[in-house]
Amino acid sequence: MDPQLKAQMKDVTLIANSTGVNDDGELLYAASASALGRVIGKNVYVKNDRGESLFSSKQIVYPSSIDVRINSRVYLPGETTSADQGWVLAAIALRVGESGSSDHWKIWLGGVGGDGAAG
């Protein structure tokens, strides 16, 4: 990973990955794990995996070693799994570094203010 990019990853976030689906079709989540990343506040529109254009007011860059998935919930610095709903991912991309190998994740968060609803 580019040393300059790695040096910018100082924001502690929480990631809860989905472990399955309950009887009502709702995702179930494992305990969250902390991860260092770079949180960016920028209003953009991004296309999801279905080609839909979604609004994202927050993006996060993580090292490629972080286990983050399209159905994960992300909690920004200061948010907790007990008090906040977390953010859903609007889109996710694995970026390739100069060496041609997996370098870092770029995720776009959906929802507004962490309400968990797709934005």
Is residue 47 assigned to a domain?
A: yes
Is residue 119 assigned to a domain?
A: no
Secondary structure class of 112 (helix, strand, coil): coil
Q: Which domain holds residue 29?
A: 3-110
The structure's pTM equals 0.84
Is residue 27 assigned to a domain?
A: yes
Q: Write out the two tokens for 105.
A: 């994740």
Is residue 115 assigned to a domain?
A: no
Q: Write out the two tokens for 7.
A: 């040096």
Is residue 116 assigned to a domain?
A: no
Is residue 82 assigned to a domain?
A: yes
Is residue 59 assigned to a domain?
A: yes
CATH at residue 16: 2.40.10
Residue by residue, pLDDT tens for the chain (119 residues) are 778 888 999 999 999 999 999 999 999 999 999 999 999 999 999 988 888 899 999 999 999 999 999 999 999 999 999 999 999 999 999 988 777 777 899 999 986 544 444 43
Secondary structure class of 4 (helix, strand, coil): helix
Q: How many domains, in total, are found in the chain?
A: 1
Give the Cα separation of 40 and 11 in Å (integer).
Answer: 10
